[in-house]
Structure 1
């Protein structure tokens, strides 16, 4: 089966319902491949018919905007192997747009991912973005960690993606706590993520280490080495684990069966639990406690305490018009059977608004989104 490609679907609002004059409501849709080619499902056909009905009342500028959005989506679907993936959808004000509202979506990349995404939304440079993990939204909302002030964020929904932070070291080191590393000044050969102020994983792990009294800089000072990888399952890491060229890995991305954590546990590494006192300090920032379950990782004799790294929160700011937030969730609901998610189960709208183990939510829902959820009985 071919991968399902993103497709931008633009629905024009009914003029009679508009109190803010917002011209368009943008949502992300997909096409499924069921017989070797991209085909529209019955749900998409039905939705498209509704769009066609509304388009009869559109003015020429709106028609051209829809054409441009469909063109961009179609080109990406056909050339995604060579095109960039940082998505920017911007509906700006033209001379004829008096009384209308600008609308911007930003997804992926250095600016719209990692630590910067909440800042982009909170300062209204974009209106909607994804943030992973969901905990980072809470950190930003509280003005903790890398965020110097509280950000006026609101949640539209939480998409499931189960994950955890895992700290593993070689058994021959005899480490039972990260305190042992600091006390013995062990020159680890550790693999982690790329450093930099925008990398949420690197920041989270660095914050954890700081509570134990050391850093990656200390490891280098003690004579150790730090391997920085762009992805949890990077080839250089997997090779280093197999060859025992490294003796520690601090990262997330542990949900994949046969991934880096499974490989490490099969090659003489063990998971080091995080002490409850340290977990509580991370919770004060906005993270949530979790466990690496022994039922999933058979080498464990008990669940290992850690912090959660789950979820893709769809976030906005408190100024987003209620009608736009309502329309965003309405569209997600209508397309719930088509949207690709990082989970083996279909998208659950009740979990989308309430949060779950796979996407804990601690930030208030946008009132426009909450209105839709309540009307449909999801809240």
Structure 2
């Protein structure tokens, strides 16, 4: 009887080992955004940092999604981890109207406060010179045609643009009725649209060193506009805190009034604690090296990366263990 029991125990242990090996062999998918976006660069940088520490596990960057989509991408198991915004992670966890009542109840934070994600409005100087409209108040309050380019649905930008337009009694249909247009294209197409005069204004996320924003500023002759009081109030009501874009780009005369979505690395609650711990440890401790490839992360402060104001949602237990060991605030 004892011999049979030992055999069964041995078989069970062997089975567990097989399960562990299979789990380790499964790819770790990182939700990002399309090629050419800042988050695609960030996710690729993270992929390189994680490869040596995840025991040969395949890592795959998903070149789709965005600030709005990625919490649901993780919730539905299409990615194990993803870059997200603090604002949209919180809204998704609550089942906000933006998500049509669908709750992302299983998303957890690994590392918050990765970097600010600003919203910026850039307008072609030709448009300003032709119309005399040189502020957001003037442009959106004039009733004159304006062709606005932004990312497709799934990014946090379209809902933010809708909030700004609503603050002026506008929506996408009214912009078109006034003779303007709303152009939604992947990030890589944006510089050419502005450079060729096929769009007047870009509203997009702005990060330090962002490749698309850098290209637009250098090649499309644009001016960065301050977000108006009316726009900032509308953004604040949507959970985007007021902030300023430092003077990083051509086309800025100084810091630019803006809003900050915040950035957090999220994971599914079912991600094993040891994997969550290792990812968190790697991000925090290799951040100086990663910031060389992705400059937006240069301002990361690890001691506040686990705080609720920088994560929006509860920490994954594996991440919480790491921050507790380091004595960081949570």
For the criterion TM > 0.5, the same-fold answer is: yes
Structure having the larger proportion of residues in helix: 2
Q: 1:214 to 1:315 in 2, by over 3 A?
A: farther
Instruction: Find the partner of 1:70 among 9, 25, 29.
Output: 25
Equivalent residues of 1:178, 1:212 under 8 A apart: no
1:277-296 → structure 2 map (5 Å cutoff): 277-294=230-247, 296=248
Please give the secondary structure, in 1, of the residue aligned with 2:253. Answer: coil
Equivalent residues of 2:118, 2:259 under 8 A apart: yes
Please give the secondary structure, in 2, of the residue aligned with 1:217. Answer: helix
Q: 1:337 to 1:256 in 2, by over 3 A?
A: closer
User: Which ranges of structure 1 fall in alignment gaps of 5 or more residues?
Assistant: 1-56, 74-84, 87-104
Displacement of 1:145 after TM fit? 4.5
Equivalent residues of 2:83, 2:266 under 8 A apart: yes
Displacement of 1:267 after TM fit? 4.2
1:244-259 → structure 2 map (5 Å cutoff): 244-256=197-209, 259=212
2:181 is aligned with 1:225: yes
1:323-334 → structure 2 map (5 Å cutoff): 324-325=272-273, 328-333=276-281
Displacement of 1:146 after TM fit? 0.3
Matched with 1:157 is 111
Matched with 1:365 is 315
Instruction: Find the partner of 1:237 among 177, 190, 194.
Output: 190
Range moving further from structure 2, 254-263 or 221-230: 254-263
Matched with 2:164 is 208
Residues 205-255 of structure 1 deviation map (CA, whole Å, 9 limit, x = unaligned) = 222222222223222222223332212xx2x43223223332211112443
Matched with 1:167 is 121
Matched with 2:53 is none
Displacement of 1:118 after TM fit? 2.7
TM-score relative to the length of structure 1: 0.59
Displacement of 1:167 after TM fit? 1.0
State the Cα RMSD in Å: 4.0
Matched with 1:138 is 90
TM-score relative to the length of structure 2: 0.66
User: Larger relative contact order (C-alpha < 8 A, sep ≥ 6)?
Assistant: 2
Q: 1:347 to 1:64 in 2, by over 3 A?
A: farther
Equivalent residues of 1:192, 1:202 under 8 A apart: yes
Equivalent residues of 2:280, 2:319 under 8 A apart: no
Residues 319-347 of structure 1 deviation map (CA, whole Å, 9 limit, x = unaligned) = x69xx446512453157439956446598
Distance of 1:119 and 1:68 partners within structure 2:
22
User: Which ranges of structure 2 fall in alignment gaps of 5 or more residues?
Assistant: 1-11, 29-39, 44-58
Distance of 1:259 and 1:272 partners within structure 2:
17
Equivalent residues of 2:109, 2:314 under 8 A apart: yes
Distance of 2:213 and 2:298 partners within structure 1:
23
Distance of 1:340 and 1:65 partners within structure 2:
29
Equivalent residues of 1:169, 1:270 under 8 A apart: yes
Q: 1:326 to 1:281 in 2, by over 3 A?
A: farther
Q: 1:107 to 1:158 in 2, by over 3 A?
A: farther
Equivalent residues of 1:187, 1:222 under 8 A apart: yes
Displacement of 1:109 after TM fit? 6.0
Q: 1:316 to 1:168 in 2, by over 3 A?
A: same
Distance of 1:334 and 1:302 partners within structure 2:
35
Residues 268-321 of structure 1 deviation map (CA, whole Å, 9 limit, x = unaligned) = 422222223432332333222221223x2354334221112442431445xx69
Please give the secondary structure, in 1, of the residue aligned with 2:85. Answer: coil
Distance of 1:361 and 1:334 partners within structure 2:
17
Distance of 1:315 and 1:276 partners within structure 2:
35
How many residues are treated as equivalent by the alignment? 279
2:137 is aligned with 1:189: no
Matched with 1:115 is 68
Equivalent residues of 1:142, 1:285 under 8 A apart: no
Please give the secondary structure, in 1, of the residue aligned with 2:91. Answer: helix
Instruction: Find the partner of 1:375 among 313, 325, 328.
Output: 325
Distance of 2:263 and 2:83 partners within structure 1:
8
Please give the secondary structure, in 2, of the residue aligned with 1:259. Answer: helix
